[in-house]
Structure 1
Amino acid sequence: IPSAVMEEIEYHEDRKLDKAQLLRLAACNYIDEGHHVVLEGASGNGKTYIACALGNAACRRMKTVRYIRMPELLDE
């Protein structure tokens, strides 16, 4: 989702998103530290959007980004 950005994430209480943690991830320090992000949750709760928003945040910082879905990850 090329238009996905961290600023547009909706932090409604029922989504139980940790805004502070997502903002820390948006700083992309985890990339420099060699860590990965794995998003889990029920279908339709916004995992793809958040993943793309984090990817776009990293691209803005000139980081290399790879998006892969679980089935492809398991195949790999």
Structure 2
Amino acid sequence: VQLDAEGRALLEEDLRSPCTEEIAVFQAFSRAIREGGRKFVVMDTAPTGHTLLLLDATGAYHRDIARQMGETGVHFT
């Protein structure tokens, strides 16, 4: 896939985000659920702290975006 300058800039910004790893894990988790269809999907998670970080990944992403946009008083859970 060829990215134009704007696409590369967006990708570079995403890679600088403090929650890049969590986003990648959440996307892989979402893909496993989607591809599992009506099957059971069992995730063998790391210790509790890592699991809590995974569960909070989308909130962390939204908080970081709000911070980058300079929004104050924004609450994500």
TM-score by length of 1: 0.28
Q: Which has the higher contact order (CA 8 A, sep 6+)?
A: 1
Q: Which has the higher helix share?
A: 2
Say which one has the larger Rg.
2
TM-score by length of 2: 0.28
